[in-house]
């Protein structure tokens, strides 16, 4: 049982999370290298994870002979170049979503990937690995709700993260490309069709600072899919109770509700506030298990020589929908894809 040797680029909060999984919890994986421009992060990788090969420069890490694969947890605008460089260096690639901020870049990456069909290229649409969403997918495939006709979802971050989000908005592409994109991917995956048009309503209701980037703090978009199904996707950056990500899939024979309520742990508290549950504070807690399953599946794909459940074409389509949604939000009009 030879291990897949992996190098990670980007050791911010999510990067650290991935690195910890790769170092200790993914059978068949070995985290052998890490790359960051922050010295403290490299120190952390060496000391906490025992990573041997540390780099400040991504290209140098790629050229290091020891690697089978790279994990990219870097800013979105670096994704396309870094993915292509990795493929050209013969590495398998896992890259956090979104694939890119423009369609042109998505297509460029797809072109390069086509030249390296034996390399695994995974984009981190982590919710496909969440036990809840994956269970819904299996139920739908088994016919439990008939034909899916409506996807209704929400991704909501806590208001206390908003200051960070404003700063992040500069490079993230905005709330639709950064957060809603997960639900857009799920809509396609669960409704099994492509988005045809979108109408989006939202605003900076709480944090005017998002206007600087023509971004929203709360918005809801309604989509028509080519097979006639509908999707309604809400995104929020001002939730008070927790990170509240949930979805419903309505079919002709029943419906499924995923992720409600967003309990931190399976405990109810009865006190002067009534009967209540504390909620997960962020997507780290909400998708902790999914991040692990996602990394395990990537390693399995590399080992077995197959591609993961979310293709590059899927990732490109999600970007396309997110851009159209952003346009609709900004113009106040329906946008046809």
> Which residues ranging from 240 to 299 are in contact with a second copy (CB under 8 A)?
240-242, 244, 250, 252-279
Sites for a second copy among residues 175-234 (CB under 8 A):
199, 201-203, 205-206, 218-224, 228, 230, 232, 234
Under the criterion CB under 8 A, does residue 144 sit at the interface with a second copy? yes
Choose which of 37, 135, 141, 143 interacts with a second copy (CB under 8 A): 135
Whichever of 185 and 217 has its CB closer to a second copy, that residue is 217
Minimum distance, C-beta of residue 11 to a second copy, in the bound complex (Å): 18
Minimum distance, C-beta of residue 243 to a second copy, in the bound complex (Å): 12
Minimum distance, C-beta of residue 147 to a second copy, in the bound complex (Å): 7
Distance of CA 159 to the CA centre of its chain: 20
What is the rounded distance in angstroms from the CA atom of residue 55 to the CA atom of residue 37?
8
Under the criterion CB under 8 A, does residue 52 sit at the interface with a second copy? no
Whichever of 89 and 264 has its CB closer to a second copy, that residue is 264
Minimum distance, C-beta of residue 321 to a second copy, in the bound complex (Å): 15
What is the rounded distance in angstroms from the CA atom of residue 209 to the CA atom of residue 213?
8
Whichever of 31 and 99 has its CB closer to a second copy, that residue is 31
* 332 exposure class (CB count in 10 Å sphere: 0-12, 13-18, 19+): exposed
Q: Which residues contact 303 (CB under 8 A, 6 or more apart)?
A: 4, 28
Sites for a second copy among residues 7-26 (CB under 8 A):
23-26
Minimum distance, C-beta of residue 130 to a second copy, in the bound complex (Å): 9
Which span sits near a second copy by CB under 8 A: 34-42, 115-123, 140-148, 177-185? 140-148
Distances in whole angstroms, Cα of residue 231 to Cα of each of 73, 189, 251, 263: 29, 12, 12, 25
What is the rounded distance in angstroms from the CA atom of residue 204 to the CA atom of residue 28?
46
Task: State the binding string over 102-131 for a second copy (x if CB under 8 A, else -).
Answer: -----------------------------x
Whichever of 272 and 304 has its CB closer to a second copy, that residue is 272
Under the criterion CB under 8 A, does residue 87 sit at the interface with a second copy? no
Whichever of 41 and 244 has its CB closer to a second copy, that residue is 244
Q: Which residues contact 43 (CB under 8 A, 6 or more apart)?
A: none
Minimum distance, C-beta of residue 331 to a second copy, in the bound complex (Å): 11
What is the rounded distance in angstroms from the CA atom of residue 114 to the CA atom of residue 122?
13
Q: How many CB atoms lie within 10 A of CB 44?
A: 17
Asked whether the beta carbons of 123 and 315 are under 8 A apart, the reply is yes
Dihedrals φ, ψ of 110, to 5°? -60, -40
Tokens 């993230």 — which residue? 172
């Amino acid at each position: 049982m030879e291990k897949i040797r992996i190098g990670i680029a980007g050791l911010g909060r999510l990067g650290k999370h991935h690195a910890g999984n790769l170092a200790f919890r993914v059978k068949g994986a070995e985290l052998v290298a890490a790359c960051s421009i922050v010295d403290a992060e490299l120190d952390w990788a060496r000391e906490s994870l025992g990573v041997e090969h540390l780099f400040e420069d991504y290209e140098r890490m790629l050229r290091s002979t020891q690697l089978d694969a790279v994990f990219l947890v870097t800013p979105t605008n670096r994704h396309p170049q870094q993915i292509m460089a990795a493929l050209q260096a013969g590495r398998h690639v896992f890259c956090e979503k979104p694939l890119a901020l423009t369609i042109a870049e998505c297509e460029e990456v797809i072109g390069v990937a086509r030249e390296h069909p034996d390399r695994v290229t995974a984009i981190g649409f982590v919710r496909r690995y969440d036990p809840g969403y994956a269970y819904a997918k299996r139920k739908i495939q088994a016919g439990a709700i008939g034909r899916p006709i409506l996807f209704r979802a929400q991704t909501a971050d806590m208001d206390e993260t908003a200051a960070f989000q404003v700063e992040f908005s500069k490079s993230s592409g905005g709330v639709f490309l950064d957060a809603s994109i997960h639900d857009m991917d799920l809509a396609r995956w669960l409704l099994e069709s492509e988005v045809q048009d979108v109408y989006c309503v939202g605003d900076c209701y709480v944090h005017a600072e998002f206007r600087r980037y023509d971004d929203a703090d709360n918005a809801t978009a309604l989509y028509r899919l080519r097979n006639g199904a509908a999707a309604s996707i809400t995104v929020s950056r001002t939730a008070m109770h927790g990170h509240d990500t949930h979805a419903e899939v309505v079919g002709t024979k029943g419906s499924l509700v995923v992720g409600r309520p967003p309990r931190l742990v399976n405990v109810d508290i009865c006190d002067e506030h009534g009967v209540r549950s504390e909620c997960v504070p962020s997507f780290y807690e909400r998708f902790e298990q999914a991040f692990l399953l996602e990394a395990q599946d990537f390693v399995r794909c590399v080992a077995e020589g197959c591609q993961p459940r979310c293709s590059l074409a899927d990732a490109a389509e999600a970007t396309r929908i997110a851009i159209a949604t952003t346009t609709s939000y900004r113009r106040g009009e329906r946008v046809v894809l």
